[in-house]
Structure 1
Amino acid sequence: MSTPTAVAGLEILFSREQIHQRVAEIGRQIDQDFAGERIILVGVLKGAAIFLSDLARNISIENTFDFVAVSSYGKGQRTSGAVRLIKDLDAHIENKNVIIVEDILDTGLTLCFLRSLFEQHKPRSLRIAALLDKPSRRLEKIDADYVGFTIPNQFVVGYGMDYAERFRNLPDICLMPPDFPE
Structure 2
Amino acid sequence: MPSATPPPEHLREVVESVLIGETEIAARVRELAADIERDFVDQDLLVVALLTGTVPFLADLIRHITLPLRLDFMGVSSYGNNTAPGELVFTKELRLEAQNRDVLLVDDILDTGKTLRAVIDKLNALQPRSLKTCVLLEKISRRAEEITADYVGFEVPDA
The verdict on a shared fold, with TM-score over 0.5 as the criterion, is yes
**Matched residue SS, 2:18:** strand
Show the 5 A alignment for 1:25-64: 25-64=31-70
Structure 1 unmatched runs, 5+: 155-182
Closer, same or farther: CA 32–69 of 1 in aligned 2, 3 Å: same
How many residues of Structure 1 are paired with residues of Structure 2 in the alignment?
Answer: 150
Closer, same or farther: CA 5–22 of 1 in aligned 2, 3 Å: farther
Match of 1:116 among 108, 111, 121: 121
Task: Give 2:139's aligned residue.
Answer: 134
Structure 2 Cα separation of the partners of residues 8 and 69 of structure 1? 34
Please give the root-mean-square deviation of Cα atoms over the aligned residues, in Å. Answer: 2.0
**Matched residue SS, 1:14:** coil
Closer, same or farther: CA 100–107 of 1 in aligned 2, 3 Å: same
CA drift of 1:74 comes to 6.5
CA drift of 1:71 comes to 1.0
Structure 1 Cα separation of the partners of residues 42 and 115 of structure 2? 30
Task: Give 2:155's aligned residue.
Answer: 150
CA drift of 1:75 comes to 8.1
Larger radius of gyration: 2
Structure 1 Cα separation of the partners of residues 92 and 126 of structure 2? 16
Task: Give 1:71's aligned residue.
Answer: 77
TM-score by length of 1: 0.77
1:93 equivalenced with 2:66 (yes/no): no
What percentage of aligned pairs have identical amino acids?
Answer: 39
Closer, same or farther: CA 139–92 of 1 in aligned 2, 3 Å: same
TM-score by length of 2: 0.87
The C-alpha deviation readout for 1:25-75, integer Å capped at 9, x for no partner, is: 000001111112231111111110111111111111111211111112768
Structure 2 counterpart of 1:61, which letter? Answer: L
Greater helix fraction, Structure 1 or Structure 2: 2
Task: Give 1:163's aligned residue.
Answer: none
